[in-house]
Every structure is written in C-alpha cells, then in structure tokens.
Structure 1
Amino acid sequence: LIHASYAAAHGDIAEVLVCMFGPTSDDYGFLHRGTRVRKMHSSYRSTFRTIGDTPVATVTRLGIKHIKKNYNPRRKDRKVKILPYFNEKVTMMYYYPHMKAEVLDSLVDMGYKGIIIVGTGLGHVNRELYPALERARDRGVSVFMTLQTIWGYVHMFVYETGRDMMALGVVPLGNMLPEVAWVKLGWVMGQTDDQAEVKRMMLTPVNDEITEREPYDGYLVYQGGVPEMDEFVRKFRK
C-alpha cells in the first residue's frame, strides 16, 4: 500500500496499474500494466505477474525506476475522457475436450451478444462445435478466440481447425488475456452492436492489451528439478 500510494502521489505514469510485491519481501513493488497483469499463485506474496511483457516500473519508498520507456505520462491539463459503457450480455467460455455444441447454443439462446472462447493450443475447439459456431454467426453473435496457455499468441492459420473456425466467424485476439478480452468486449459492445465495428475496436489496442511481439524476457517460468535451476535458486535461497 505504501508503494502504491507513493506511485500514485509522485509517479509520472498516467495509467491503470497494479502495484504488488516484486520479491516476497517488501524491498520493492512492481507496477504492472492493468491490461497485461494476472495473479499466478493463490497465496504467494509476489503472485502478480506481467504476462508476455515486462512490468512498467519498480517502486520503493524512495522513488520509481522505469523498466519500460513507452508509457502514458501525466498531462498538465488533467482532462480525462471517460466512456463508462458496458454490455452485460457478453461471456467467456472455457473450452474442454468433448465439449458439446449445446453449451454454446445455450449461451446464444440466452441472448448473449458476444462470446470470448478460451481455446486450447494455438486457439482451437473441436469440430463438434462447428454447427454451434455457425448458428452463433448467423444470429449476429461476435465470437473471439483467446488462449488457455496464457502466454503466447493465437495462431489460427497454422492448423485446419483454426482456419475452419475463422471461416465460421471466430476472430483471433493475438495475445490478449482472456479476462481482459471479456472486459474489453463488454465495453466495446456497450458502445456499438455493429459487428464490423466491434471487430475493429477489439483488434485496436487501447493500452497494450495486444502487443506486436513478446520480448525475450516476457516469458520466464522457472522449472524446478533441473541442475541449472537448482544452482540459480541456491544463490537466493540458502
């Protein structure tokens, strides 16, 4: 809380940020961009991680050290444009093997206008859902694809099933996190119900919810049990 208060009072970053522990100690906190942060452990103190990128900055009681150079700085005019719109008829569907078409059909029948699919691999569901995807498209439902892997990009051109789904109207969302995609879709559909405009707005980044590339240090998940990892950990954990 002290780090967050310091960043809000003295920092020059004008964005929605999450300030949480860097290490498990209180030495410093990370400032994570709101569109790229996720809680990755139920109880670990330094559980919040920037996914597919680096945090924006670190913060201590003495100051802020920027990690990223591209951020939105404070302006002197303090003029803010707020678009407080949200369509609650959007949902998120986590795909699992052998999912039946009736699951997707039921969402459409209940009047949902936008659906975020959290797909496997590069962004896939099984062929059993094809008829339901076609019915959703024909009824004007906007359907988008994100990933269960969390890290990485949706690549629906690689395999036949991905290309089939795009032909059925499913739109890949790059490396947008599933929860972020749900929030953005609700916000977008609160402003327009035109499908072409919904697609355009979803694919137009507001603040790095989709990035052009993943930096070399944007995916760091250490795996225990291997000698090089044990040697690295021993330097910090005696």
Structure 2
Amino acid sequence: MTYKEIAKKYLETNGITIGDTIKVKKEDISYEGILLDRSEDSEDGYLVLKLDSGYNIGVAIENTEAELIEKGDKPKIGYEGGEIEKDPNKMDISIISTGGTVSSIIDYKTGAVHPAFTAEDLLRANPELLDYANYNVEALYNILSENMKPKYWVEAAESIADDISEGSDGIVIAHGTDTLHYTSAALSFMLETPVPIIITGAQRSSDRPSTDAHVNLIDSVIAAKSDLAEVSVCMHGSLDDNYTYLHKGTKVRKMHTSRRDTFRSINFEPIAKIENESIEINPHYNYTKRNEKELKVNTAIEEKVGFIKSFPGISEEFIEYHIDKGYKGLVIEGTGLGHVPDNLIKSLSRANDENIPVVMTSQCLYGRVNMNVYSTGREIIDAGVISGRDMTPETAYVKLSWVLGQSEDKKEVEKLMNTNIAGEFNEKSSIKYFLN
C-alpha cells in the first residue's frame, strides 16, 4: 500500500484533509501544525506538519493519534490579486525573473525544486518588497540556471536596457545560483549603465522556511535604489539572515554547493555590505555613481568558445578537437601559475597559427597567472597563449566570448583581453584578498 493510500485511509477515519490544522500524539510527545501534501515518491507511512515555527516535521503514522483542531484549505501554488498600485513617492525598480531557486517551488509530484513562480508571484510571495519601491515585474525565462545559454545573456541585456530607457531607477534580476556569475560577467561587459543592476538568487526555494530568497531580494532592492551604478551580485554574507554582500559582477564566484553565503569575491573585496536596511559601500572601492554614465549596449558575442580544464594525463586531442570543429577561441583552466603538460604545446601553437586565440587561467582561482616563471610556461607564451591575469576562469571565458564578438583579428583580441573593460582583473595582486 502506497503512502497516499495509507494516509488517505488513516486521515479519512479521522475526518482530516490536507491543509487542516491537526494535533498528532506519539507516546508522550505531541505536535500541532498544518498538514501538508508530500511528493509522490516520498517514503510511505509518514505525515508532514508545518509547525508555527515555520519548520516542517515528519511523523510516522504507525502508533500515532491524530486530532482535528481546525479545518483549512489545501495550500495552493501561485498568488492571486489585482494590479498593484504605484506610489509616486517611491523609486521605480524593475524585477526580471529568469528562473532558478529564488523563483522556484517544490513540485510535490517529484519532490524536486523547479522554477514555477512568475515575476509577479515572486513579488506577492515577498509583499514586504512593496514597502521599498514601485515595481515593473517581468518573467524573461523560467529555467534552472544550468540551462542558461549565451544567447540568453544577450536577451537579458537587451531587456534590461529597454527598462532603463523607459525610466527604471534600478534593476533586480532573479537568477539561478549555479551560473549566476557567468551572467553577471556577461552583463558587465555588455552594458554601461546609469543605474544599479543587481543580480540575486537563493540557495533554498521561496516556499521553504529556511529560504534565503526573502533577504536577498529585499537587500537587492535596497542596492538597486543606491548610487552604485554597476552590475553586482547580492547574496548572503553569512549563514544567518543578518547581512548581505554586493560583489563586483566580474570578480565573483559560487564557492559552495549549498551554503547560503556561497558567493565570494575572488581576488577582490565585496564592494558593499547591506545590513539593517542600510548599504555601506567599501571606502576603498572607486565605483561608478548613478547617472555618471549614459546607457550603452554592446551585445555582440561569439558562442563557439571552448572551455578546457587541464588535468594529469590530458591528451592533445582536447585541443585538436576544438580546432577541427571550428571553435573561434579557447580558455584553458591551467594548473598553478598557468601551466599545461608539455605535450599540448604543439596543439596550442597550431591554434595560434590558425588565428584561434587561447587564454590561460588558473584552477587556483586566487593569485594571478604568470607563465614566465617555469620553462613550460615560457613555451606556452611562445605558442601565442594570452595570459588571463587574475580573472576567474568563468569571467575569462565570458570575456573572450564577448571580445570575439567585437573582432576576429587575433592581435585585436589579444589587445582587448589585456584591456580592463569592466574591472575584471587587477594590475597588481594582493594577499589580503586570499586572507580575507
């Protein structure tokens, strides 16, 4: 007998349905809460209650007494309501949803998280946002971030530009966390902006009691109202809900699979901290101020760029494959200071001869590429490989894709890769970034 069959028979006997407030007693322990539905593939024989604390617990049906406290409606997914009126005394902020956990819910058929909220649902799920601004809400996509593609970066940049042109005072983008830092880098290269563009996400979906979506969204709106007119990422700065950090769009990376403070500035410091509804911009950071620049959009991009991680025993076939398949550029995630095994040198030289730029980055993440130290590195330089300096591999990949959209000439590509366009690399390294 399945869970559904066991639960139905048990609950019908007690006149209980999903959504009712019930009290269950097991030996000397009792719990009171709202009875929730469960995923269809969940383990049989358990009831799930949402307690007043907001947390859910599971109670085995066997040897359990259940008492109906109050009838209730079965929880519905989604939100209803009329048009939200605008307050002329508040700033106008655009919320653009692309999907991801921040705009996701639990699918009770499978138990999986999937993107389901519309942008307006996202606003109604977090009604406190209405205290801070007026909103133009739009669901650009409804995808998980692993399904993000370079062409979506282009469409997102164009949508953002349209909103800014129509008078938006700031932009908040709800995005899945897994590839959020790719998108933040892409928007940093594609847009010069007179208003803040804030990208945020969540490690836990909006319908979970431990969600980080609520704090991240509110602090993103606070950042979008600020004078920091750049592309940045707003995410938890600790495991608690006490503050968030703003990270520069080209210097940020997801560093943990599940922690709420997963995003860290790499070879950089957070550019701002938001705490108690107040934003404190890093005094050492020379930032672009609101309306200091006019809106500029350049979304030309080359999608056929390869991304290769070096490893012990890697074959030159990895390089040769991308050359033979017509890739326009390659980013190598090398070891240490920017190394690959010497058996790849000949293939790297071939790429250079065929006008395919290759950019070297490091798997170490912190520190900078320096191919002048060891003999293999100097051979890599002689093969025409371009240094990625202290860019993260992901930012280097996005930048090369964008640069190849500007020019196919290898000398011009090398020049642009060595030009600091959106604060993607530092001229000098500092140990403080690693120690902090």
Q: TM-score scaled by structure 2?
A: 0.49
Letter in 1 for 2:331: I
Distance in 1 separating the partners of 2:413 and 2:276: 43
2:271 aligns to what? 56
Structure 1 residue 39 corresponds to structure 2 residue 257: no
Where do 5+ consecutive residues of structure 2 fail to align?
1-216
CA deviation after TM superposition for structure 1 residue 79, in Å = 2.5
Q: Give the match's secondary structure for 2:358.
A: strand
Q: Give the match's secondary structure for 2:308.
A: strand
Distance in 2 separating the partners of 1:89 and 1:147: 21
Distance in 2 separating the partners of 1:183 and 1:196: 19
1:52–1:215 CA contact under 8 A, matched in 2: yes
CA deviation after TM superposition for structure 1 residue 61, in Å = 4.4
**1:1-238 map, 5 Å:** 1-9=217-225, 11-67=226-282, 68-75=284-291, 79-220=294-435
Q: Give the match's secondary structure for 2:312.
A: coil
CA deviation after TM superposition for structure 1 residue 213, in Å = 2.3
Cα gap change, 1:155 to 1:111, in 2 (>3 Å): same
Cα gap change, 1:6 to 1:61, in 2 (>3 Å): farther
Which 4+ runs in 1 deviate beyond 2 A?
A: 213-217
1:175–1:211 CA contact under 8 A, matched in 2: yes
Q: Give the match's secondary structure for 1:175.
A: coil
CA deviation after TM superposition for structure 1 residue 59, in Å = 1.1
Q: Which has the higher contact order (CA 8 A, sep 6+)?
A: 1
User: Which range moved further: 200-209 or 158-167?
Assistant: 200-209
CA deviation after TM superposition for structure 1 residue 60, in Å = 2.7
1:6–1:61 CA contact under 8 A, matched in 2: no
Distance in 2 separating the partners of 1:64 and 1:18: 14
CA deviation after TM superposition for structure 1 residue 63, in Å = 1.4
Q: Deviations over 1:43-74 (max 9, x none)?
A: 01111000111100001343110114311111
2:232–2:247 CA contact under 8 A, matched in 1: yes
Letter in 1 for 2:222: Y
CA deviation after TM superposition for structure 1 residue 220, in Å = 2.8
Q: Deviations over 1:158-209 (max 9, x none)?
A: 0000000100101111101100011111111011101111001111011221
CA deviation after TM superposition for structure 1 residue 214, in Å = 3.2
Letter in 2 for 1:34: G
CA deviation after TM superposition for structure 1 residue 137, in Å = 1.2
1:146–1:154 CA contact under 8 A, matched in 2: yes
Letter in 1 for 2:353: D
Q: Deviations over 1:201-227 (max 9, x none)?
A: 111011221102233421137xxxxxx
1:37–1:51 CA contact under 8 A, matched in 2: yes
1:53–1:214 CA contact under 8 A, matched in 2: no
Q: Give the match's secondary structure for 2:406.
A: coil
2:267–2:367 CA contact under 8 A, matched in 1: yes
Where do 5+ consecutive residues of structure 1 fail to align?
222-238
Identity %: 42
How large is the Cα RMSD of the aligned pairs? 1.3
2:335–2:363 CA contact under 8 A, matched in 1: yes
Q: Give the match's secondary structure for 1:52.
A: coil
Q: Give the match's secondary structure for 1:19.
A: strand
CA deviation after TM superposition for structure 1 residue 75, in Å = 1.3
Which protein has the larger Cα radius of gyration, Structure 1 or Structure 2? 2
CA deviation after TM superposition for structure 1 residue 89, in Å = 1.3
Q: Give the match's secondary structure for 2:297.
A: coil
Cα gap change, 1:6 to 1:215, in 2 (>3 Å): same
Q: TM-score scaled by structure 1?
A: 0.89
Distance in 2 separating the partners of 1:75 and 1:127: 50
Larger strand percent: 2
2:335–2:362 CA contact under 8 A, matched in 1: yes
2:85 aligns to what? none
Distance in 2 separating the partners of 1:134 and 1:216: 34
Distance in 2 separating the partners of 1:153 and 1:69: 20
